[in-house]
């Protein structure tokens, strides 16, 4: 193995740059040439490769986003697109590929592996929906932004005696909403795994009012079946909960900014280990944080299902919100 390539794919996540840096410098340490592929699978299909030296990855550890940029690509989902991607890798004499991204990106990586190119995946997604790893890169940073948002909203909510509906990211997975709700002291958390009706959400806010609280917060994951704008309409026109209600959608703010220490460390360890796994001849695996260790787990196992959230967290949220 002489030449490897690295790409970031899907939604960007704070810490991706730290992972790129670790891959490049670990590769150089082992005498490899390391190439960056710009804009994920789009760049792969367009042959957008650039050799990365130590200097190119200097000063990026603390930067949010990804210096390689990212994309979501439809063509690569097809057999023809994947064959074209393989051809581009061969044209650039790439011996192995490291893909940093979420479930969709890792699914694409596995297709390349099956077509003959050695691949190692690194889980990068703020959603924490990738299975077999305790955490993915970017989750901790996003969670800290959510908590900062919730703390700020509680200040203004208390001053006006209002209730806030707060929507977090999380297309298929309620991890961010649930952890945000537990650590930010929400009255109710609504997720794809644990939905709630408009009536149930209204009841939770109303209970807080009746108990004499000066504010109330409902955290709702974007992927939950109850949509916040519809809920807002319901609360404005059909049901009074005592409090005046306001809505805040945290949106893409959750994905930007400097990675936390936790994410920098996780990304660095995963980047170093991704190269190490390739050097050891491991193929089609993903770096996974399991307890204190970074293990190699089959990508196949990591993408089979959305990472489940432990039941105990839902239970904890329920009684701590009383």
Residue 71 binds ligand F6P, judged by CB under 6 A = no
170 binds ligand F6P (CB under 6 A): yes
**Residues 263 and 138: beta-carbon distance below 8 Å:** yes
Query: How big is the site for ligand F6P, counted in residues (CB under 6 A)?
Result: 10
Among the residue ranges 16-24, 167-175, 273-281, 298-306, the one whose residues contact ligand F6P (CB under 6 A): 167-175
**Is 127 a residue of the active site?**
yes
Should residue 25 be labelled a site residue for ligand F6P when binding is judged by CB under 6 A? no
Q: Give the residue ranges of DSSP H helices in 211-310.
A: 228-237, 261-279, 299-303
Q: Can you read off the two tokens belonging to residue 150? A: 């919730």
Q: Please report whether residue 125 would count as binding ligand F6P according to CB under 6 A.
A: yes
Beta-carbon count within 10 A of 81 CB: 18
Q: Does 171 bind ligand F6P (CB under 6 A)?
A: yes
Query: What's the min distance (Å) between Cβ of 73 and ligand F6P?
Result: 12
By the rule CB under 6 A, 255 interacts with ligand F6P: yes
What is the DSSP secondary-structure string of 107-136?
HHHHHHHHTT--EEEEEB-TT--BTTSS--
Q: Which stretch binds ligand F6P (CB under 6 A): 27-35, 40-48, 166-174, 258-266?
A: 166-174
Among 130, 134, 80, 113, which residue's Cα sits nearest to residue 282? 113
Map the footprint of ligand F6P across residues 189-218, applying CB under 6 A: none
Report helix angle 261-279 to 139-160, nearest 10.
160
Least CB distance to ligand F6P at residue 205 (A): 25
* Cα-based angle 161, 165, 168 (whole degrees, multiple of 5): 140
Residue 95-114 contact track with ligand F6P, rule CB under 6 A, x = bound: -------x------------
Based on the shown chain and the rule CB under 6 A, indicate whether residue 169 belongs to the binding site for ligand F6P: yes
Interface residue with ligand F6P, options 43, 222, 260, 272 (CB under 6 A): 222
Written as six digits, the tokens of 43 are: 């760049």
Q: How far is the CB of 252 from ligand F6P (least distance, A)?
A: 6
Question: Whose Cβ is closer to ligand F6P: residue 169's or residue 179's?
Answer: 169
Angle at the Cα of 283 from the Cα atoms of 54 and 268, rounded to 5 degrees? 35
Distance CA 301, CA 289 (A): 14
Residues in the chain: 322
Measured distance between the N- and C-terminal CA atoms of the chain, rounded to whole angstroms: 58
How near is the Cβ of 4 to ligand F6P at its closest, in Å? 25
59 vs 225, beta carbon nearer ligand F6P? 225
The catalytically annotated residue of 12, 48, 95, 127 is 127
Within residues 28-67, the interface with ligand F6P by CB under 6 A covers none
> Least Å distance between CB 214 and ligand F6P?
31
Q: Which residues contact 321 (CB under 8 A, 6 or more apart)?
A: 181, 185, 186, 187, 188, 204
Catalytic machinery residues: 127
Q: Footprint of ligand F6P on this chain (CB under 6 A)? A: 11, 102, 125-127, 169-171, 222, 255
């Amino acid at each position: 193995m002489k030449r490897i390539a690295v790409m970031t794919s899907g939604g960007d996540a704070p810490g991706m740059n730290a992972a790129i840096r670790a891959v490049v410098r670990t590769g150089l340490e082992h005498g490899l040439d390391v190439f960056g592929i710009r804009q994920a699978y789009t760049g792969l299909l367009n042959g957008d490769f650039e050799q990365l030296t130590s200097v190119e990855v200097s000063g990026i550890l603390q930067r949010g986003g990804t210096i390689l940029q990212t994309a979501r690509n439809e063509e690569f989902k097809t057999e023809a697109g994947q064959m074209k991607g393989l051809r581009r890798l061969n044209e650039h004499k790439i011996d192995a590929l490291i893909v940093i991204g979420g479930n969709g990106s890792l699914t694409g990586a596995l297709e390349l592996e099956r077509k003959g190119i050695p691949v190692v995946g690194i889980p990068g997604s703020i959603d924490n929906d990738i299975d077999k790893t305790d955490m993915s890169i970017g989750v901790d940073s996003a969670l800290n932004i959510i908590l900062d948002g919730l703390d700020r909203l509680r200040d203004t909510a208390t001053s006006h005696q209002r209730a806030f509906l707060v929507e977090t990211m999380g297309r298929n997975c309620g991890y961010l909403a649930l952890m945000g709700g537990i650590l930010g002291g929400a009255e109710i958390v609504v997720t794809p795994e644990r939905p709630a009706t408009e009536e149930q959400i209204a009841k939770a806010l109303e209970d807080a009012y009746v108990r004499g609280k000066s504010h109330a917060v409902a955290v709702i994951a974007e992927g939950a079946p109850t949509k916040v704008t519809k809920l807002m309409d319901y609360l404005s026109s059909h049901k009074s909960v005592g409090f005046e209600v306001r809505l805040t959608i945290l949106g893409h703010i959750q994905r930007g900014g400097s990675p936390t220490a936790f994410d920098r460390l996780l990304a660095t360890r995963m980047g170093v280990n991704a190269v190490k796994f390739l050097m050891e001849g491991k193929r089609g695996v993903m770096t996974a944080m399991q307890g204190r260790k970074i293990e190699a787990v089959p990508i196949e196992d990591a993408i089979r299902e959305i990472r489940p959230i432990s039941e105990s967290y839902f239970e904890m949220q329920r009684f701590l919100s009383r």
